Chains A and B, each alone.
Chain A
Amino acid sequence: MSIRVYDLAHSRAGDKGNTSNISVICYDAKHWEFLERELTVERVAQAFRHIAKGPIRRYPLRNLRAFNFVIENALAGGVTISLAQDIHGKSYSNVMLAIELPDPK
């Protein structure tokens, strides 16, 4: 059985240069430790392997029941020179939400 990040958390993506910044925010604080254990840098790197070269850093924000993922080399050179349609990578939060994790139940 698996569960999606989408089932436990919401997310928004932003950009700075060629780096994508994606938050993962638990609906309920009780799921924070599960995500801390399962939503690892490695798991996120796997989901973004077609999009970003990395490296990826994860910053825990327990006070906001959240995590901040910073993914480098993710935006085809950055907003000003990117050939992508979604130059800011705003839609990347949906790649994060679609990640499947083992069901905690």
Chain B
Amino acid sequence: MRSKDTVRVGSGAGTSDDRMVPALELAERGDIDYLVFECLAERTVSRENLSRSKDPNQGYAPSLHARLRMVLPTCIEKKIRIVSNMGAANPVGGARAARKEAAELGLGDVPVAVVLGDDVSSLVQHKGELRLIENGEPLESILPKMISANAYLGADVVCEALNTGAPIVLSGRVADPSLFLAPMMHEFGWAYDDLAKIAQGTAAGHLLECTASVTGGCFGWPGKKDVPDLARNGFPFADVKADGSIVISKTPDTGGRLDVMTCTEQLIYEIHDPTAYITPDCVLDISTIALTQETSDRVRLANATARPATLTYKVNVGYADGYIGEGEVSYGGIDAVARAKWAAEIVKERLKLQGFTYDDFRVDLIGMSSLHDNLESRPEPYEVRLRMAGRTHNRKAAHAIGFEVRALHMHGPGGAGGACEPRVRDVLAVKSVLLPKNTVNPQVVVEGSL
């Protein structure tokens, strides 16, 4: 049991493809006040913008239906409020879909607070002079191919949405830790100048944003870092007090482990400079943090510090950048590697004879060099899978890679087996710019009646 002065914020998804059942277990048995679903990878919003352009009712995360159908009855009954960026490229459309799910579940008219303003595509259309963070080139170099431009909004506008009292808050692009910080700001009235508390809440959000990454997922190693009952691993939550004290734990009676080791891996994860982790809410410093084990599966987070937020929002600009084509086929037994290498040369020559060229091209021998390269120093395995991939703006050239790899069955070295169908996918590239916060207009609208 937990004390009454504690707010418990649970993590129900760390990606759109995250496992579902642990979120329901957290809602049913975790005694939580908030359930946060973080469901947007870097290019998800771009992909959903394309869905929306085909059907104006689409554009939110497709997993919204299954997720809400699963947890809504429990969340409404237990008054657990849901916060999620599953609105993706169409938060209003997502809110309508959520309300429809609630109605169909017999839960009545459930209002949804919608966070808007992250879509800055029309704003940046006129700002071609902005520099891309990745390569310093002007934004105008990718503007003609732009599909989406979304600012990473902060916890302030999500907090505003929570202030409406709606049981569900849906947003598009919001920085991941901000989704978790917002309920804390809402509950305790923390403001951005309460830097010690904002730092604690941001660090907790970072620990929670990848769900199972603090409960033994992406961690275990047999005999070295054992994880008990990993098949039933549970999702985490934070117990937060008004003074900013925080303990991380997980759903009772679930598998996995939550300890200083798992939390440390997640705390450093994707942080880069540990003294300057920039979110829309603050510039977090994790080099002061102390993690201590309180009891089994309970880790205290203390001493997070931060500097005030920067004056800009990071904006992800998604754009179409051609196609990636790929193919795979296997060789086994005597001279498997020699035959695979010969096959690769034949495919390259056939692509060249057809006049196809590629911006980037890659040959992998899966089993030897596909993950860490350095083919020449690897021992030869019994069997090897040849993979060839190329990026190009010519769809036919992309398709030809998989086509020619598959044709190795009949037209290559002896004994090729198990080629896959030729694969072609659209490249949705993402680059970023910084936009002054005072040019962006985050806002909240409510779908349904409060």
User: Chain A: residues with CB nearer than 8 A to chain B?
Assistant: 6, 10-12, 14-19, 21, 23, 25, 50-51, 57, 59, 61, 63-66, 68, 70, 76-81, 83-86, 90-92, 94-95
Contacts and interface: CB of A to CB of B under 8 A. Distances in A.
B289 A63 contact: yes
Contacts of A68: 268, 271-272, 274
Interface residues of B, number: 49
Contact of B289 (A14, A15, A25, A64): A64
Contacts of B364: 84-85
Contacts of B264: 23, 25, 64-66
Contacts of A12: 218-219, 265-266, 268-269
Given A81-B429, A85-B371, A14 B270 contact: yes
B391 A83 contact: yes
Interface residues of chain B: helix, strand, loop or mixed (majority) = mixed
Interface residues of chain A: helix, strand, loop or mixed (majority) = mixed
Contacts of B391: 81, 83
Contacts of A21: 268-272
Interface in B223-277: 224-225, 261, 264-275
A85 B428 contact: no
Contact of B265 (A23, A57, A90, A95): A23
B427 A80 contact: yes
Contacts of A64: 264, 267-268, 286, 289, 291
Contacts of B43: 79-80
Contact of B287 (A25, A63, A95): A63
Contacts of B273: 57, 59, 70
Contacts of A66: 264, 268
Nearest to A25: B264
A65 B362 CA distance: 38
B373 A51 contact: yes
B207 interface: no
